[in-house]
Structure 1
Amino acid sequence: MAKTGLKQRMIGQFHHPRGLGGRVAGWVMAHRGSNRRRNVWVVSLLDVRPDERVLEVGFGPGIAIGELAARATRGRVYGVDHSAVMVERASRRNRAAAGRIELVHTSVDRLPSFGAPLDAVLAVNNAGFWPDPPARLRELRGLLRPGGRIALASQPRCPGADRGTTARAARELRDLLTEAGFTELRVETLELDPPVACVLGVSPR
């Protein structure tokens, strides 16, 4: 029973890193090869251009934030995360781009103002944990310019996850984006174990 409780607490740290356990979870997320491949791949699918303004929801240790900053060299990169530990870690990881990134400790249902419309939004492995995902996605669509892009990615981490689990996750993300009013939806897959699904959509023009 005690081992089960400890395991659940550690799993919880990957959902909401806090304290020393959160720092350990953040280190694991930052150094796991599959995490880096997944994040770099999702950013590449968004085809971010140098002058664009982009937002990542739930940036964790900041791997994708760094990739976005490397592409949006004349633009602005925003990030929101509900973990203060991850804000600290991601800020340290990306300090070389500090003048072009803004990382905020907040939840997806309390988004700050970004001043002007965004060009792209992404979220990797966290949309399923949002409160009322369709409502959150409608809010994000309202923050995007007409024709702005969104990418939601999922690599299932449940025991026994396989290609079928990933396919079901992709359908769920596609349904959420459809409900929120996004169009031109497409699904891409990265062959990891289990595979990663990324569903991309466009804010109607």
Structure 2
Amino acid sequence: MKKMTKIIAVAFTAAALFIGTNVIAQSTPKSALRLGLGVEGLLPTGNLHDISNVGIGGTARLQYGLADNLALTLTSGYYNFFGKELGNTNIKTASYGMIPVKLGVKAFFTQNLYFGAEVGAGFETKTFGALKNQDTEGLSKNTKLIASPGIGYASQKWDVGVRYENYSGQSNNFGTVGLRIAYGFGL
């Protein structure tokens, strides 16, 4: 929890340093459509950290400008959380996979800097908490509710964002701190 608090504090401090006295509307021209292809580094939190230390993902984000400083987003892709050894038991958890599908908004509060918020569903592709080499045929794959606030920097081609993503459902409540680096272009 302390690590997540420090990351959030650093993100907001960085945002405060970049904010000038003049707020300038950004770069999402009204009615413009953009596509961003991103790579994500993911740090598990909550009981997801019990089965994985790190995850990676690949995502595509479609963005539609509602106003010069406000955009609607649709994001999907794939996340993989690598399994880890349980204590010193030589027993390793299996990798955990999820397909996120999220709707959201990006609100630019100054040139190139934005707050983002997304909500959606995460479809498990691998059973949560399964052990490596365990037969998972009878185990269910569930759907999780995703809620995700974030902050980022976007230029005409690049989008770098940091967010916390919470997954809840089936008596589980865990999440990730994610860093997304994406290349974007107009459609």
TM over 0.5: no
- Decide which structure has greater helix share: 1
By relative contact order (CA 8 Å, sep 6+), the higher-ranking structure is: 2
Highest CA radius of gyration, 1 or 2? 2
TM normalised by structure 1 equals 0.24
TM normalised by structure 2 equals 0.25
- Decide which structure has greater strand share: 2
